């Protein structure tokens, strides 16, 4: 019984491994920057044509992509972002802001429990008065000890996160009244 099983294992393995050849490994390909005879100038890759923008990177809408218009922070999120998704915004806030700014926006998150400096409280009058564009700008570029998080949060999600901060501020104002 045992030896029969062994034979089956061997046969199955033989069939599976017969599929492994070195074809892919030995494929004709060029390493990055490796010279070649493919292009007239000896390069192996096309240069990016001048004055071109990769698809999806044409960021002409200044307010949307910087939070500013006419050198001022916009007070309300641009129209395109106005349909921002609050459910998504809460998720982004929970994942990327709450750890330092706290779930209630007052600056006590898990990071601060571990000794990281407290994030500003979103209930400060100064920050309540700040425009949506200012929040977008801080997320994009960082502020003081807070690093930029632009690499992790898309512009769309940044606006959604601002929506979540606004909700926290609104709720706090309602509770207070």
**Shortest gap between Cβ of 170 and ligand HEC (angstroms)?**
15
What's the per-residue H, E or C state across the chain? CHHHHHHHHHHHHHHHHHCCCCCCCCCCCCCCCCCCCCCCCCCCCCCCCCCCCCCCCCCCCHHHHHCEECCEECCCCCHHHHCCCHHHHHHHHHHHCHHHHCCCCCCCCHHHHCCCCCCCCCCCHHHHHCCHHHHHHHHHHCECCECCCCCCCCHHHHHHHHHHHHHHHHHHHHHHC
Binders of ligand HEC among residues 136 to 165 (CB under 6 A) are: 138-139, 143-146, 149, 161, 165
Which residue lies nearer to ligand HEC by CB, 36 or 154?
Answer: 154
Which residues, numbered 46-105, are part of the site for ligand HEC (CB under 6 A)? 96-97, 99-101
**63, 77, 120, 168: which one contacts ligand HEC (CB under 6 A)?**
120
Applying CB under 6 A, the residues found at the interface with ligand HEC are 96-97, 99-101, 111, 117, 119-120, 127, 135, 138-139, 143-146, 149, 161, 165
């Amino acid at each position: 019984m045992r030896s029969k099983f062994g034979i089956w294992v061997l046969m199955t393995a033989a069939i599976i491994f017969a599929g492994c050849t070195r074809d892919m490994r030995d494929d004709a390909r060029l390493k990055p920057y490796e010279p070649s005879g493919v292009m007239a100038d000896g390069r192996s890759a096309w240069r990016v044509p001048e004055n071109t923008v990769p698809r999806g990177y044409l960021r002409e809408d200044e307010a949307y992509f910087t939070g500013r218009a006419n050198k001022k922070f916009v007070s309300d999120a641009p129209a395109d972002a106005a349909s921002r998704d609050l459910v998504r915004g809460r998720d982004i806030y929970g994942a990327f802001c709450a750890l330092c700014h706290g779930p209630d926006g007052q600056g006590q998150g898990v990071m601060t429990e571990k000794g990281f400096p407290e994030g500003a409280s979103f209930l400060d009058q100064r920050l309540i008065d700040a425009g949506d564009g200012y929040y977008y700008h801080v997320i994009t570029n960082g502020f003081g000890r807070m690093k930029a998080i632009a690499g992790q949060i898309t512009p769309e999600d940044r606006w959604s996160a601002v929506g979540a901060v606004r909700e926290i501020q609104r709720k706090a104002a309602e509770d207070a009244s």
